[in-house]
């Protein structure tokens, strides 16, 4: 397998341990379902397993039970329940019936979400096509809490958990990440032999190292490029720490791609963000779902974009909220604008401050620059939607559409009571409440006659007492 990733030369079993309760998370949500960059930790690990070209994937679950299965359900996943939870060795034992005994087995963890395909590729290579045991280890400045790698003559002899380690062993800085590759057939021999005679009364997967050494089976090791790849999550503090690591990774990738970020430390991508050339993103922006920013698009500070396509040269000004929308080329949105699902804007459309668009199409060169609501409407080209204009699309039970044809001018403070059509080139006077179709090329207006009442006096507040 290439160190850069890709499918292994032969099918690989992948066992993902995801049965832990996560008490320190202080949450009803199963630990492995807490999100990193908008995606559950377990989903990250599953994607990595698929990136390796795994032949079989088995998830060992326990706490959270059906919630975990429902959240990660997929045709390529087998499930093994661990109940009660008696340690990592016991967990892998539950997965054995799901595995191909002829293939090497890679053990991953549902709460170690940032492990990379390239790192696992090196580990698989070190396993010599799955014929040897290979461990992923890392050196830490502070190894407290981790099992130590004990070497004899430079070779891995065993792994000692911290609670069982001597003072000399606790001084070792090389630690076990828990991630390993072992021949599946060997696991079938070793796992039933494990003992729980230790400080935690658990069956440690790490004890297979000593069993392998006793059989004369080679034990190799590989190392990640960065310690954060193998960092597990057991608390909200650790979750927040890895969230920032992942966001920095995403920011670095965007910068390498040529995206201009005003501050790489102040961007949150919680889904898939693709960017063309000369894209600029200001501070405090959040991207969720799938967002596509085409060439020359710019996003101002403190915007949220979810499942949005922004065409070339469009500008999103500050404090805008866009969801399920399409923004046409060279359009200008905001500041303080909201595009809701179904908003489809063509080229050179202007949506200004405090304007909301929902389930509507707006054709090229039209504008709604101030304080308007456009819902369930089809707006033609070169239309001016005046300040304070709203489409009255809901009758209390059903939604109705408003049709505004090309070259219409809608005066300020107009209500369009759907279903209604405004003909091509029509003008609606300010303050109009339109309840019937407006004919093309004509002025339509509905206002009460202006009156002045002679001698009228404004009420005066009476003094108390």
Domain CATH code at residue 253: 2.160.10.10
Q: Is 44 a catalytic residue?
A: no
Give phi and psi for 219, each to the nearest 5. Answer: -120, 110
Half-sphere exposure of 110 (CA within 13 A, CB side): 31
Percent above pLDDT 90 for the chain: 81
Split into its structural domains, the chain has a count of 2
Q: Mean pLDDT: which of 94-108, 166-180, 208-222, 351-365 is highest?
A: 351-365
Q: In which band, very low, low, confident or very high, does the pLDDT at 10 lie, cut at 50, 70 and 90?
A: low
Of 210, 230, 250, which marks where a domain is finished? 230
Instruction: Looking at the structure, tell me whether residues 173 and 304 fall in a common domain.
Output: no
Does 456 reside within a domain? no
- Looking at residue 243, its pLDDT comes to 98
Q: Which residues, 6 or more positions from 96, have their beta carbon under 8 angstroms from its beta carbon?
A: 184, 187, 188, 191
Residue 412 has pLDDT above 90, yes or no: yes
Most confident of 14-18, 181-185, 199-203: 14-18
pLDDT range class, residue 8, cuts 50, 70, 90? low
Tell me the CATH number at 157: 3.90.550.10
pLDDT of residue 452: 87
Same domain, yes or no, for 176 and 298?
A: no
Point out which residues pair with 410 in neighbouring strands.
Answer: 385, 428
Q: What is the pLDDT of residue 388?
A: 97
Residues 212, 248 within the same domain:
no
Mean pLDDT of 143-164: 89
Q: Residue 24 has what DSSP assignment?
A: G
The CA-atom distances, in angstroms, between 215 and each of 155, 208, 256, 379, 427 are: 15, 11, 48, 77, 90
Kindly indicate the confidence band of residue 9, based on its pLDDT and cuts at 50, 70 and 90: low
Calculate mean pLDDT across residues 340-346.
98
Residue whose C-alpha is closest to residue 380's, from 410, 339, 411 = 410
What pLDDT score was predicted for residue 214? 87
Shared domain check, 283 and 262? yes
- Please state the rounded mean pLDDT for residues 226-231: 95
Token pair recorded at residue 439: 């004919």
240 in the same domain as 211: no
**pLDDT band at 1, cuts 50/70/90?**
very low
- The reply to whether 8 falls in a domain is no
Q: Could you tell me if 215 and 248 lie in one domain?
A: no
Q: DSSP per residue over 40-87, as a string?
A: EHHHHHHHHHHHTT-SEEEEEEBTBHHHHHHHH--TTEEEEE-SS---
Residues 6+ positions from 161 with CB-CB distance below 8 Å: 147, 198, 199, 200, 204, 206
- pLDDT above 90 for 46: yes
| Residues 265 and 138 placed together within one structural domain of the fold | no
DSSP letter string, 96-152: GGGS-TTSEEEEEETT-TT--HHHHHHHHHHTTTTTSEEEEEEE-SS-TTS-EEEEE
> Does the pLDDT of residue 60 top 90, yes or no?
yes
SS3 call for 236: helix
User: Do residue 218 and residue 240 come from a single domain?
Assistant: no
The reported pLDDT for the residue numbered 321 is: 98
Answer whether residue 451 is part of any domain: no
Confirm whether 265 is domain-assigned.
yes
What is the rounded average pLDDT for all residues in the chain? 93
Mean of the pLDDT values across residues 31-42?
Answer: 96
Give the end of a domain, one of 170, 204, 230.
230
Residue 216 sits in the same domain as residue 259: no
Same domain, 210 and 274: no
In total, the chain counts a number of residues equal to: 465
Q: Which residues of 109-138 are buried (b: 16+ CB within 10 A; e: fewer)?
A: bbbbbbbbbbbbbbbbbbbeebebbbbbbb
Indicate if 366 and 318 belong to the same structural domain: yes
CA 315 → CA 136, 287, 301, 311, 335, distances in Å? 46, 16, 12, 9, 10
| Amino acid 2: pLDDT | 39
Residue 465 lies inside a defined structural domain of this protein: no
Q: What is the mean pLDDT of residues 156-175?
A: 91
Task: Select which of 220, 302, 370, 400 is catalytic.
Answer: 370
**320, part of any domain:** yes
Choose one of 230, 258, 280: the last residue of a domain.
230
Q: Judge if 319 and 266 occupy the same domain.
A: yes
Residue 7 has pLDDT above 70, yes or no: no
Q: Is residue 259 part of a domain?
A: yes
- State how far the Cα of 366 lies from the Cα of 329, in Å rounded to an integer: 13
**Is residue 460 one of the residues assigned to a domain?**
no
What are 80-109's pLDDT values in tens digits?
999 888 999 999 999 999 999 889 999 999
Please tell me the predicted confidence (pLDDT) of residue 427: 97
Residue 4 has pLDDT above 60, yes or no: no
Whether the pLDDT of residue 177 is over 80: the answer is: yes
C-alpha 294/C-alpha 448 separation (Å) is 49
pLDDT value for 5: 44
Look up the domain containing 191 and give its range: 13-230
pLDDT cut 70: percent of the chain above it: 97
Better pLDDT: 173 or 66? 173
């Amino acid at each position: 397998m290439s160190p850069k990733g890709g499918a292994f030369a032969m099918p690989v079993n992948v066992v993902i341990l995801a049965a832990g309760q996560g008490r320190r998370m202080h949450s009803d949500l199963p630990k492995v379902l807490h999100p990193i960059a908008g995606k559950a930790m377990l989903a990250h690990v599953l994607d990595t397993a698929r990136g390796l070209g795994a032949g079989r994937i088995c998830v060992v679950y326990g706490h959270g039970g059906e919630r975990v299965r429902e959240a990660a359900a997929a045709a390529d996943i087998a499930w093994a329940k661990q109940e009660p939870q008696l340690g990592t060795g016991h967990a892998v034992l539950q997965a054995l019936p799901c595995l191909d005994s002829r293939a090497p087995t890679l053990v991953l963890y549902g709460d170690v979400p940032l492990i990379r395909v390239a790192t696992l590729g090196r580990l698989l290579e070190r396993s010599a096509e799955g014929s040897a045991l290979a461990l992923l280890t890392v050196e830490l400045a502070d190894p407290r809490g981790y099992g130590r790698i004990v070497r004899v003559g430079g070779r891995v002899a065993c792994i000692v958990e911290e609670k069982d380690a001597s003072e000399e062993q606790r001084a070792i800085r090389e630690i076990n990440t828990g991630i390993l590759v072992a021949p599946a057939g060997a696991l079938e021999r070793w796992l039933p032999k494990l003992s729980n005679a230790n400080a935690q009364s658990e069956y440690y997967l790490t004890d297979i190292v000593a069993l392998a050494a006793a059989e004369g089976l080679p034990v190799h090791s590989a190392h990640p490029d960065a310690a954060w790849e193998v960092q597990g999550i057991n608390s909200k503090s650790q979750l927040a720490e890895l969230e920032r690591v992942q966001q920095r990774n995403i920011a670095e990738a965007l910068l390498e791609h040529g995206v201009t970020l005003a501050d790489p430390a102040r961007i949150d991508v919680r889904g898939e963000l693709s960017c063309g050339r000369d894209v600029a993103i200001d501070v405090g922006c959040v991207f969720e779902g799938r967002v596509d920013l085409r060439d020359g698009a710019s996003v101002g500070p403190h915007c949220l974009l979810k499942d949005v396509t922004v065409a070339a040269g469009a500008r999103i000004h500050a404090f805008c909220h866009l969801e399920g929308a399409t923004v046409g080329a060279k359009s200008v949105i905001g500041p303080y604008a909201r595009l809701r699902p179904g908003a489809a804007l063509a080229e050179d459309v202007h949506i200004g401050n405090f304007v909301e668009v929902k389930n509507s199409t707006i054709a090229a060169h039209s504008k709604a620059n101030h304080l308007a609501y456009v819902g369930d409407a089809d707006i033609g080209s070169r239309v001016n939607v005046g300040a304070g204009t709203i489409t009255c699309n809901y009758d209390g039970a059903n939604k109705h559409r408003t049709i505004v044809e090309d070259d219409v001018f809608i005066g300020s403070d107009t209500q369009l009571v759907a279903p209604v059509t405004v003909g091509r080139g029509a003008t609606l006077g300010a303050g109009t409440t339109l309840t019937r179709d407006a004919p093309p090329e004509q002025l339509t207006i509905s206002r009460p006659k202006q009156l002045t009442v002679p001698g009228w006096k404004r009420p005066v507040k009476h003094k108390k007492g």
